[in-house]
Structures are given as C-alpha cells and as structure tokens.
Structure 1
C-alpha cells in the first residue's frame, strides 16, 4: 500500500505513506530531495540526498510516513548543509536533539492525529523560523528540473561556476551537474510512465538517444529502464 499527496504549508513538498507488504527491499531512486521519515519500527529518521539508488529494507507490516522536501528546501528545515546528509539515513535526534524526542513522544501519545500532519506542522514551523528556504536554491532547482543547462542556470542566478558548485553542495548535497543529471532521469522516467516509448522519452528529456538514457539509468538507479518500467513497450 502506497499513497502520496501534496504537503500543506511547504511548496513543492509531498507527503507519502506506505505499509510494507513483504521483506523484499524497495529500490528508492535519487531525486535531489531530503525526507523527514517516521517508521513504526525505526522511529524518526532523515534521508539525505542520494547520488544513486538505495535499497530500503522493511519488515512485513512496517508502516512508513514521509515528508519529501523538494531540492534546496531540506537544509532550512533540518538545520544542516545537505552534503552532510548525502547518501545517509540519520536518526532525527542526531540533528534536533530534544526537539526530535518531543516529536516522537507526541506521535506516540496522539494516536488520533495522523503522523503526516505532525511532520508537516513541525517542518512548517522550522522553515518559518529559518526565514524560508534559500530562494536561490529554489530557482536553481526549478531551472534544472525544466531542462536548463548548468551554465544557463548559473547565468540566470548570477553565479560563477565555482560559486554555483559551492552553493549547490550546501543546498542539494552535490554539484549542479549531478542534480541536473538526476532530474533529467526523473523527467525521462515520468514521461515513460505516462506512456511515451523510451526513445521518445529520452529525446524529450534531453538525452542524445535511448542508449544514453539507458546508461544513465543503470548508473543512477542500478538497473535498466525496462526493469523500472516493466510494462513499457520499448
């Protein structure tokens, strides 16, 4: 069981919930995002920005609730640079201390209130206290997600290549070229899931050809596109 919806109070964020049906690991693709997670088994966690797919292992019946923060927003919520969380799963208490303990206690005590609503509330409060996300990060991520080149995105926000790389490490966890590559893969897979043949999805997403897309997906996701899209006719 899996479902998701737009988060309340955090533009571009997504709330998702799922219950593990079995013990088989789930492949989590990189997306440039940071997640605030709650597991019925493991408690509160932070998932950092991944460079390649991660295999998430759950026990049957384990419940997961997550708040997926769009690229560039996570550092303002969690209070640490994104590169410190890169490719990591960290207990929230390591970052927030007592505040994480209080949130965990509230989740345990207030059974009638959805966990998702609690995660949204605390994220909105921390984002407000931080003065909101870095607007430069939001602009960079939006341009790269739309298919702009790194050079074009840098020129639009008025940063040189080195300054853009430093800012991207802080906001996204890796440089702009890596983020652009991940977002391009996500665009292509979304197009394929919507019914586009892989060759067409590759062209529309900005790949040289289908073979280029296949190489990128294998490197970033660990499997071929057809493994991720088993019903795709291509």
Structure 2
C-alpha cells in the first residue's frame, strides 16, 4: 500500500498548472485549511501562493481512505470536512504536515481492500497495457470495468489510459528523450498525435510543459 502514497510539499509564488494523473490528494493549504483535490480529467490551475503540503493517493486508494467514490470528486477541490464529515476532519482544523501524517495513518488503519483489481489495473494502464487486456486480466466485463474505474479513479479506463500515457510521455521527455522518440515509446501513433493529446488534456503544447 505504501507505493500508493506520495507525500509532497510545494512552495509557489502563484497559480501552478496541475496535470491530470488519475490520483486524489488531501492538501493542507498555507492558511491551514485541509482540502480534497479530486482526480482531474484535464489540467487545472491551483489557487494561491505559499507552502502547500499534501499526500497523493494513487492506484485507487484515495476513495477507500475517504469513503467516497472518486467520480463524486472528479475535477473538484472541496473542504475535507465536506467529504469525511466535520468530526472526522477535526484533527486537521489547524492543519500541518505532522497532523496530516497522523490523520492519514489513522484513516489507513480502517482501510480493508481484499480485491487487488484496482491497483493492478492502475499499474497496467501506467505501462501502456491495452484496456481490453486489463479487463481480461482482472476478469471484468467492459461495462463492469468502466463502472469500477469511475468509482476508484474518477473516470473510465480509456481516459485513465490517456492520462497515464501523457504522464509516461512527460517522464520520458524529462529523462532526455527527443519528442519523436517520446511519442513512439509512450504509445502514440506519431508526434502530432502526442501534440493533440497534450493540448486536449492540458490546453498546452508539449513544448510548454
């Protein structure tokens, strides 16, 4: 389960472009307010300057921790208390990194998930496995996979695959690969296909990311 958690801190002077990644975050803002940032279908700009401290839940873990379907939070940023209830969020009223860590540990202690399909599906999509193959491997029909993906990731398997392919492409580019090689290695038809998908998901050309 630890691979499904990523702790992060961001110091920003203003709005920051947040790229979709199929994950859900609990964030403590500079003013101490704790919020939930649901899975983003497309890129969005974060609000406000200052230090943000957060934990990112991937592989479908977030909805289990928060007790709410991911698709109820897709594209939304809402107060944590509105999601888990004021009593459950009370420990983070004056949020900080240590308090957030303590809160997460407490929530994880209540999580029980004996069905490995979600982390397996996420991991497979992250390396470019076709959606039909993911369905076969998990033993789910296309309709059931669609429904379950919306609950755990915020959108269906096709969109999850697009989002994770873009993340894979940007990681290759950051590692130094030229754009033509990035497009081929990440699974795009060609470089123009990569450019179209990048604009569709982020509103920007690949070179601006």
TM class by smaller structure: over 0.9
1:45 aligns with 2:35: yes
Post-superposition, which runs of at least 4 consecutive aligned residues in structure 1 deviate over 4 A?
none
Query: Conserved in 1, the CA contact under 8 Å of 2:39 and 2:70?
Result: yes
Mark the CA change 1:77 to 1:213 in structure 2 (over 3 Å): closer, same or farther: same
SS class of match (2:21): coil
1:131 aligns with 2:121: no
Residue in 2 that maps onto 1:122: 103
Q: How far did residue 134 of structure 1 move? A: 4.9
Partners of 1:134 and 1:36 in 2: CA distance: 24
Q: How far did residue 133 of structure 1 move? A: 7.7
Question: What aligned pairs does 1:10-159 form with structure 2 within 5 A after superposition?
Answer: 10-21=2-13, 23=14, 25-41=15-31, 43-59=33-49, 62-96=50-84, 97-105=86-94, 107=95, 115-132=96-113, 134-159=115-140
| Stretch of structure 1 that moved more, 90-99 or 153-162 | 90-99
Unaligned runs of 5+ in 2: none
Partners of 1:177 and 1:202 in 2: CA distance: 18
Query: Conserved in 2, the CA contact under 8 Å of 1:72 and 1:133?
Result: no
SS class of match (1:19): strand
Mark the CA change 1:70 to 1:10 in structure 2 (over 3 Å): closer, same or farther: same
Root-mean-square deviation (CA, aligned residues, Å) is: 1.5
Q: TM-score, normalised by structure 2?
A: 0.94
Partners of 2:161 and 2:151 in 1: CA distance: 16
Which deviations, in whole Å up to 9, do the C-alpha atoms of 1:33-80 show, x marking residues without a partner?
000000122610000000000111213xx2200101113110011110
